[in-house]
Structure 1
């Protein structure tokens, strides 16, 4: 396996323990397992079940609610290793939501909500895999969401539409973002948005939730849906946090999650480099291994160097996020995601090129890594929006959008 250099980036004892444990789990799921999940479009239930049984889905849940009480420094290691362990970015995404969608409850949920649900998530009995935010007319501009939640007596009634909501089919609960005050009735567009906890099975039984599967060419086994809410009734206590403050609640913790996405890109890049190097050492043409040719060797080496640099920034920022140091974490997180996604793409491209014609053969896996690497430049934020952030917030340039 391609390994990053140590030296200036030493892992803590807890990070090393996470790395060892996750690697042991991943070792039981070989390339054939992930290839089959991809070709069949089947969610990796066996893999996720093992993680849940061993308590990893409760990584960010405090110990008082049965979780592991970990932080960003540990989760970046966890998600990098899951991606590098054979499943790629899609494998990490298969569990990402189940870990991070508990955070809004930890931070803003009522005590009764936390006491009821968090222990069940921590021990794998329940899952909160889905997060409903994006809409057909509101992509990166989240303040433009049109889904409404209106109060009727002691209930909320939800009507609207969401798109690109992933893992709803394997989730017991959905964290839903909706407008509780119309946009034209608030002083700022960021106000009047609230978060809710939705029991997916109950919503379906009400006949108030329909789900349309979205066919896609990357991360096939992490299913995404378009959701239609028609008069969904939620109890009053389904509200997460303070009414009207949901937009700010979504932003809180976003930087830490973006660092974890960066780590998942790094893991995918490592995996692609590993496959490329193995093939370059094994494949012989004109009597010598193709890895001896600089046309093969240099792209792999350059991609690895870029991954190493991106990892330094990602891990340093993750450690700072947990240290309490006063830093511009938004700048670090956005740059880490940008650099890691680009490095992963270059690594996957080099791996495909190394394989020649076999680079597009599914049996060699690298074509899947390439498709996933392309996806990382789009989600959860495009590279262009990251550059907008850096230009405005870091360099002090005028707002461009």
Structure 2
């Protein structure tokens, strides 16, 4: 655990164990201090505050993470993110700042430099990063570090963990995630990348699509088929996982122009007889699918938290604008046509937030089924989309201007609605696994 995170959490543990209520007088607190704590326990915070800290359901550990990460994010305002998008430059400054204080290893084992905290703390970190105004751009720049290498943590050898986790946590290496393919999409079991053993190496041929940060990554976590589909009993068999160097001299990396999040690249990858050392294979051959699945619920929780952050950022800007903008001699915030949709969005975001953090809590306690992680991601993405759309409409014509940033939020909020799994596939999951209905696809 980094020194910065350790000190922050020590402070939170002291806060958690200290006397509460009137007994605070025994600690020498002033009446003002006591009154502030009473107020803190009984009053809600305003959604117009910058990264407010007063959600009453947060644990002391979550609140400490939020405060520490918010402090870093305060150096990267909306103007910074607008500039990064315009220049299409990867946000290395934020990445380095988070790495410096050890946040890139928040869920990783302390043995390798991580902080060994839970998904509950990681989710609040990612929500905070997004909510600061960085949105999906900021979140995506570090997303892979947070839980992407969980298959290496769980299934890699000690030598691999030492070799791969230490530089990733320290921010010295970046990684990307190589699963989705052009011809298969969400039908992962039928992916067509083929890896054939050749002595001490594998020769890998195929393609991947929607690979974020590949232009800036040194490593890739790659899923490939090592046994042909027609030779396995079940489609989930015969897939193997590799964590290897991403060499642009060997792999053709083509950036995909897209609607938003221009500062974090998204790419198409092509490779033919790409030679990958067998020592870069994670775990046993042909068992890669179960390794990838191990972290899927965590990814949905984190994506949902990132969506929430973007929704809250949009709502904050809309509420401030509605309170300040005067038309026909009165604040537009006095009009229920403005006020009620924003109030509705706050309720939707809060409902989704409670679902997301319930899913995170259950995950940290060992719950393995995916209904709450999937449902939380679905609800968060939808609530965030509605909040961003309403923020643009609240601003009127100025909502279409880059100056107010809400148009950027709206463009980015489509990402959690589409990835890493679509709304329709989540409904399929709930329909089959929870409602007991027949498979519909």
Q: Fold conserved (TM > 0.5)?
A: yes
2:286 counterpart (223, 236, 244): 244
Q: Which residue of 2 aligns with 1:71?
A: 118
Alignment partner of 1:6 is 2:48? no
2:164 counterpart (84, 93, 117): 117
SS across alignment from 2:285: coil
Q: Give the CA deviation at 1:127.
A: 2.3
Conserved? CA contact 1:4–1:308, under 8 Å: no
CA separation in 1, counterparts of 2:148 and 2:362? 22
2:370 counterpart (296, 309, 330): 330
Conserved? CA contact 2:126–2:139, under 8 Å: yes
Unaligned residue ranges in structure 2 (runs of 5+)? 1-47
CA separation in 2, counterparts of 1:67 and 1:223? 26
Alignment partner of 1:179 is 2:225? yes
- 1:330-349 CA deviation, whole Å, 9 max, x = no partner? 00001001100000011001
Conserved? CA contact 1:281–1:289, under 8 Å: yes
Q: Which residue of 1 aligns with 2:31?
A: none
Q: Give the CA deviation at 1:141.
A: 0.5
Taking the TM superposition and a 5 Å limit, the aligned residue runs for 1:350-389 are 350-389=390-429
Q: Greater shift after overlay, 348-357 or 367-376?
A: 367-376
Runs of 4 or more off by more than 3 Å in structure 1?
1-7
CA separation in 1, counterparts of 2:261 and 2:420? 14
CA separation in 1, counterparts of 2:417 and 2:174? 27
CA separation in 1, counterparts of 2:415 and 2:108? 29
- Alignment RMSD, CA only? 1.3
Q: Give the CA deviation at 1:328.
A: 6.1
Alignment partner of 1:269 is 2:311? yes
Alignment partner of 1:282 is 2:324? yes
Taking the TM superposition and a 5 Å limit, the aligned residue runs for 1:223-234 are 223-234=265-276
SS across alignment from 1:150: strand
Q: Which residue of 2 aligns with 1:217?
A: 259
Conserved? CA contact 1:314–1:336, under 8 Å: yes
Taking the TM superposition and a 5 Å limit, the aligned residue runs for 1:154-193 are 154-193=200-239
Unaligned residue ranges in structure 1 (runs of 5+)? none
Q: Give the CA deviation at 1:5.
A: 6.9
SS across alignment from 2:114: coil
Task: Report the TM-score, using the length of structure 1 for normalisation.
Answer: 0.95
CA separation in 2, counterparts of 1:232 and 1:374? 34
1:35 counterpart (82, 90, 103): 82
SS across alignment from 1:181: coil
SS across alignment from 2:413: helix
Conserved? CA contact 1:5–1:308, under 8 Å: no
Task: Report the TM-score, using the length of structure 2 for normalisation.
Answer: 0.87
Bigger Cα Rg:
2
CA separation in 1, counterparts of 2:254 and 2:317? 35
Alignment partner of 1:315 is 2:357? yes
SS across alignment from 2:68: helix
Conserved? CA contact 2:147–2:295, under 8 Å: no
Q: Which residue of 2 aligns with 1:140?
A: 186
Alignment partner of 1:86 is 2:128? no
SS across alignment from 1:69: coil
Relative contact order, higher structure (CA 8 A, sep 6+): 1
Conserved? CA contact 2:95–2:171, under 8 Å: no
Q: Give the CA deviation at 1:4.
A: 8.4
